[in-house]
Amino acid sequence: MATTLFSGCTSFSWKCYRQQLSHSSPENGISRPKTLPTSTENELIGKEKDDSWGILSRRPLLISGISLSSSSVFGFPGEGLAVVKQGLLAGRIPGLSEPDEQGWCTYRRPEEKSGGHGVGWSPIIPYSFKVPQGWEEVPVSIADLGGTEIDLRFANSKQGRLFVIVAPVLRFADNLGDDATIQKIGPPEKVINAFGPEVIGENVEGKVLSMKTAEHDGRMYYQYELEPPHALITATAAGNRLYLFSVTGSGLQWKRHYEDLKKIAESFRVV
């Protein structure tokens, strides 16, 4: 883009300069006779020429500045883009650890991460889970079909994807207070029937293959497997929020990576 601008500006200035030096200008079909410039006119022409080339010599600096700013502001390939890629995007703060000896990484929701449900809501209590090396965070759009309650997305193109829903418990009951537990919300059957559609986008009747409970550090978790679609869901509650952790995949991903996907689903904890 910079090259195009420069050539355009150069040809325009040179054309103007040639027009200034021209001594023949047709007017009503009559050409004026050429006259030789006086010494004073020669000095003026020389000055105009110097000024014109001075402008041209300064333009490359201006245009190169435009080109540089374009690279960083508009995302054209270059060093500026690399800096943007490595910087922090709004609402996204890295929380993924380095892989352990088995090649698994732990994600923990950073304390500084933005999010919440407006004025009057307490900060989201952090959660964590494990994924194999190669899984990456995926940006959550404000136009996401899951709404503002989707707090996080992760994916691996070969293995599957996951997301975390963090929803105010007041959406479901007004007597749970600020220290909700999943048991207070209801038994496993009630929870999956009420909140399963939030996860898979349709009624869960006839789709629940299994359900079980697990307790970790005094907190209860409900764990479900659904099909179709293939989904492993872990549900719990903490503070004044309900947490729904969903791991999904295609039929082929399910067949090839089921054990890893199950391990991811069962690793979810509110810390």
Judge whether 85 lies within some domain.
Answer: no
Predicted pLDDT of residue 184 = 93
Judge whether 234 lies within some domain.
Answer: yes
Determine how many CB atoms are found less than 10 A away from the CB of residue 185.
Answer: 20
8 Å CB contact between 128 and 269: yes
**Cα–Cα distance measured from residue 103 to residue 134, given in angstroms and rounded to the nearest whole number:** 9
Judge whether 55 lies within some domain.
Answer: no
Judge whether 31 lies within some domain.
Answer: no
Q: pLDDT tens-digit profile of 76-92?
A: 333 333 333 333 444 45
**Cα–Cα distance measured from residue 155 to residue 152, given in angstroms and rounded to the nearest whole number:** 10
- Of residues 164, 176, 177, 189, the one with CA closest to residue 246: 164
Tell how far CA 165 is from the center of its chain: 17
The residue length of the chain stands at 271
**What CATH number is attached to the domain comprising 242?**
3.40.1000.10
pLDDT at 246 over 50: yes
Judge whether 18 lies within some domain.
Answer: no
Domain count, the chain: 1
Q: What is the mean pLDDT of residues 179-190?
A: 95
Give 25 or 144, the one with higher predicted confidence: 144
pTM value is: 0.65
Cα first-last separation, the chain: 51
Look at the block and give the residue holding tokens 């923990």. Answer: 108
Residue ranges making up the domain that contains 203: 96-270
Judge whether 163 lies within some domain.
Answer: yes
Predicted pLDDT of residue 147 = 61
Judge whether 193 lies within some domain.
Answer: yes
Judge whether 91 lies within some domain.
Answer: no
Task: Name beta bridge partners: 131.
Answer: 105
